[in-house]
């Protein structure tokens, strides 16, 4: 393996290039911010002490302070810490055996992908000052494939998408709908900004145009009478708590293309009975459905590989429909949530 900065030949267990002093990055890592995450974790331990590793709540709280912009990586590390993997590694006197055990646990019990497990191990071993020999090696075919797609993408489809200028729907734009019950947002907007309809007590139905790709944080939170929402097929991102505390909301169909249900998105929607989650969704954030008291059956697709904490807290009648031996199945068994196979 070569250093990506100076092309110096590196050994298998090297974390820092002996020539240029840069951090070594795994060649096949699918996480873009690995260097920044490694430095953030190292800073946490350096500044707060190694004993902090045994306090999972405090450690995960500090993740938000030290790496706020890396949400995907933060979720993964937080999930690993919540499962007590790092303390288990420290309790094993043989570092190599500790790494092997941690890898096996992440792959077989947490159902993480091989790349995610290697990412976690590289970051955690750097934080602990251990040497690390990646299991996933560089493949010669990877660099050769990448350039062939670059000119094709730049010359064709992305050019059409770039022509669509960002046009956010702002809280100021929503003021004229303050006392209107049924709202249809005009075509052309590409995003519903955070807090746009927050607390609009008269809002009953909302139709969002096919040009919208993002719904911001708390965009429709505390809309107590909102019972019907028509989401566009173009939607890709629903930010945290976007529909929280919409007490009259009864059903929701998330369009295919949305890849995450963020924290608190539908929390305390007491009358939510029916939620359709597409196979494009891969993660569900903390407290996403907390307090959805009437929610009974939810089909979680096999595509989901991460579920946060207290996602179905205070959902007394919930039954999760899932595939046998899937990540969702394991999550339900671990958290004592009723489930049935589909």
Per-residue pLDDT of the chain (342 residues; tens, 9 = 90+): 566 567 777 665 455 567 776 655 544 445 668 888 999 999 999 999 989 888 888 898 898 889 888 877 887 888 888 888 899 999 988 999 999 999 888 877 766 667 778 888 999 999 999 998 776 544 433 333 333 444 444 444 444 444 557 899 998 999 999 999 999 999 999 999 988 999 999 999 999 999 999 999 899 999 999 999 999 999 999 999 999 999 999 999 999 999 999 999 999 999 999 999 999 999 999 999 999 999 999 999 999 999 999 999 999 999 999 999 999 999 999 999 999 999
Spatial contact of 217 and 198, defined as CB atoms under 8 Å apart? no
How far is residue 4 from each of residues 73, 122, 224, measured CA to CA in Å?
21, 16, 54
Residue with token string 């795994």: 26
Q: How many domains does one find in the chain?
A: 1
Q: Write down the pLDDT at residue 294.
A: 96
Q: Write down the pLDDT at residue 135.
A: 65
Q: Write down the pLDDT at residue 247.
A: 95
Q: Write down the pLDDT at residue 338.
A: 96
Residue with token string 């031996």: 325
Read off φ and ψ for residue 230, nearest 5 degrees.
-105, 105
Read off φ and ψ for residue 106, nearest 5 degrees.
-65, -35
Flag whether 149 is in a domain: yes
Flag whether 5 is in a domain: yes
Flag whether 127 is in a domain: yes
Flag whether 338 is in a domain: no
Q: Write down the pLDDT at residue 10.
A: 65
Flag whether 186 is in a domain: no
Q: Write down the pLDDT at residue 225.
A: 95
User: Token pair for residue 218?
Assistant: 């708390």
The separation between the first and the last C-alpha atoms of the chain, rounded to the nearest angstrom, is: 45
Domain of residue 145 covers 1-160
Flag whether 135 is in a domain: yes
Flag whether 323 is in a domain: no
Flag whether 216 is in a domain: no
């Amino acid at each position: 393996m070569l250093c990506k900065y100076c092309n110096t030949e590196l050994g298998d267990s090297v974390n820092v290039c002996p020539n240029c002093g840069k951090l070594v990055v795994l060649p096949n890592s699918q996480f873009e911010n690995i260097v920044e995450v490694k430095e953030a974790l190292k800073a946490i331990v350096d500044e707060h002490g190694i004993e902090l590793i045994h306090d999972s709540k405090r450690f995960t709280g500090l993740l938000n302070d030290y790496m706020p912009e890396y949400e995907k990586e933060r979720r993964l590390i937080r999930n690993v810490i919540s499962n007590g993997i790092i303390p288990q590694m420290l309790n094993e006197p043989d570092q190599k055996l500790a790494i092997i055990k941690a890898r096996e646990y992440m792959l077989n019990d947490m159902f993480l992908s091989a790349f995610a497990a290697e990412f976690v191990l590289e970051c955690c071993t750097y934080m602990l000052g251990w040497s690390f020999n990646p299991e996933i090696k560089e493949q010669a075919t990877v660099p050769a494939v990448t350039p062939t797609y670059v000119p094709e993408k730049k010359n064709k489809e992305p050019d059409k998408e770039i022509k669509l200028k960002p046009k956010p729907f702002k809280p100021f734009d929503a003021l004229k709908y303050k006392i209107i019950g049924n709202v249809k947002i005009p075509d052309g907007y590409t995003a519903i900004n955070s807090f746009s309809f927050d607390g609009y007590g008269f809002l009953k139905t909302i139709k969002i145009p096919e040009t919208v790709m993002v719904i911001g944080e708390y965009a429709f939170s505390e809309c107590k009478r909102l019972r019907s929402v028509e989401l566009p097929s173009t939607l890709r991102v629903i930010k945290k708590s976007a529909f929280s505390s919409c007490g009259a909301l009864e059903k929701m169909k998330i369009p295919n293309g949305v890849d995450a249900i963020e924290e608190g998105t539908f929390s305390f929607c007491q009358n939510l009975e029916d939620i359709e989650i597409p196979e494009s969704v891969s993660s569900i954030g903390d407290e996403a459905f907390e307090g959805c008291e009437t929610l009974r059956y939810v089909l979680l697709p096999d595509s989901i590989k991460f579920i946060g904490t207290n996602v179905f807290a205070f959902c007394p009648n919930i039954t999760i429909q899932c595939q046998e031996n899937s990540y969702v199945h394991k999550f339900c068994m671990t958290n004592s949530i009723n489930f049935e196979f589909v």
